[in-house]
Amino acid sequence: MRIPWIPSLSLRRRPARLLLASIIISIALPIPAPISLPWEQPAPAPAVTQAPVQVGTSYNPLHATYLGLDWKDAYKRLEAMRFKVIRLSAYWSQVDGEGYDQLDWLMNESRASGQPVVLSVGMKGLGWPEYYIPDWVQPKVADGGDVSQDPTLRAETLDFVTTTVSRYRDNPLLVAWQIENEPLNPAGPHRWFIGKELLADEVSAVKANDERPVIVSAFGHFNMLFDRTSNRSGFDLKALLGFESDTAEAQSLNVLSKGDILGLDVYTEIGYNFLGQVGVSHAGSDWAAKAGHWRGVSAKQGKQAWITESQAEPWEASISSYGDPKSTVAEDIITRFKEIRHQGFSTILLWGAEYWLWRADNGDSSWLDAVQGLLHQNLAAPSLLGA
């Protein structure tokens, strides 16, 4: 099997040093992970009707090209699978350098084929390196800081969002706008996060130009150890004690209006390499229930909750195992899907589309088969258009 060279597979989404930092913290603070504390447990999910699920995915043409796929052909192959929605991203640095040509093609192709889409806009897009900021507006912000504190970047981001929304708002296949990607979670080489003030301004800018629902996403609960690093405040004692007002989920909901959507990105197996020792970190047993908890909170506020990313590809510690993954296998896609569905989610987007196609082209169709099985089982799910 031909394996592309990728500097670090764990950098596909966020830096491996996040997990490394959490391991170091765990050595200093002898708290095992995953851990279940009485006040940390979400209430059991209520019984829900297991109606067909609107199964979607995300697509990054930049990553498809990196894997050696023809990005147009890859997208048409995904369209042929009849996902209820495909999430795309407006990559600011690409648009700044090359124009909107690639995104125009994707949006026009979606319109011609009848493929519903979500479009993510802002400085933070889908996939590593997370932030797609043009060179001329690179912020002067310390590592781990609020990148939106740079006033020039703040103004230019709002302009990019407004320009992009105005360009695509007339596309009838557009289901919703996503504002940034996991904006309140630190990520990328500098571990920046986007402050809630700019996030609220971006939401307002979109709503001033279009009436479609808005999505704000957050990296979902993994385990107590990893949550320390995915939360911008580090070790979050208040969340540990049951006060959720400062969590990314709660703050995301605060900038949304009724009918808008909280997106949750859920992963259960993450590979790491610590001092030469390769291992896999596993999500706590309450990962799905915690997602269900936030679905319930959203519903009480008159808002929706989607799973915007459900792990459906490996998250490896090393490129050497990319074609023979140690973190997860294709069958796990179905197991995760069932657990999320049991929590009452009606819209679930599977993450890893480029990987499935790459594996299939190299003789292993198991990943693609697992996804196609879920699509077949949920054919009767309603369309998201007009939802």
Task: Look at residue 47 in the predicted model and tell me its pLDDT.
Answer: 47
Q: What angle do CA 282, 334, 289 make, to 5 degrees?
A: 55
In a domain, 385, yes or no: no
The CATH number of the domain where 122 resides is what?
Answer: 3.20.20.80
Q: What are phi and psi of 48, to 5 degrees?
A: -130, 150
- 3-class SS of residue 15: coil
Q: What angle do CA 236, 347, 381 make, to 5 degrees?
A: 165
What does the pLDDT look like over 92-120, one tens digit per residue? 999 999 999 999 999 999 999 999 999 99
Q: Which helix (H) or strand (E) holds 103?
A: helix 101-113
In a domain, 1, yes or no: no
- Report the b/e string of 105-132 with b at 16+ CB within 10 A: ebbebbbeeebbbbbbbbbbbbbbbbbb
Q: What is the CA radius of gyration of the chain?
A: 19
Task: Look at residue 48 in the predicted model and tell me its pLDDT.
Answer: 53
Neighbours of 283 (CB within 10 A): 22
In a domain, 4, yes or no: no
Number of domains present in the structure of the chain: 1
Q: What is the pTM of this model?
A: 0.88
* Residues 78 and 60: beta-carbon distance below 8 Å: no
- 3-class SS of residue 75: helix
Domain that holds residue 180: 9-377
In a domain, 382, yes or no: no
Which DSSP string do the residues of 198-247 spell out, in sequence order?
HHHHHHHHHHTT--S-EEEEEEPP--HHHHHHHSTTSS-HHHHTT--TTS
Query: pLDDT tens per residue, the chain (387 residues)?
Result: 434 434 434 344 443 444 444 443 333 333 333 434 444 455 554 545 579 999 999 999 999 999 999 999 999 999 999 999 999 999 999 999 999 999 999 999 999 999 999 999 999 999 999 999 999 999 999 999 999 999 999 999 999 999 999 999 999 999 999 999 999 999 999 999 999 999 999 999 999 999 999 999 999 998 866 666 666 454 455 555 555 768 999 999 999 999 999 999 999 999 988 888 888 999 999 999 999 999 999 999 999 999 999 999 999 988 778 888 989 999 999 999 999 999 999 999 999 999 999 999 999 999 999 999 999 999 999 999 965
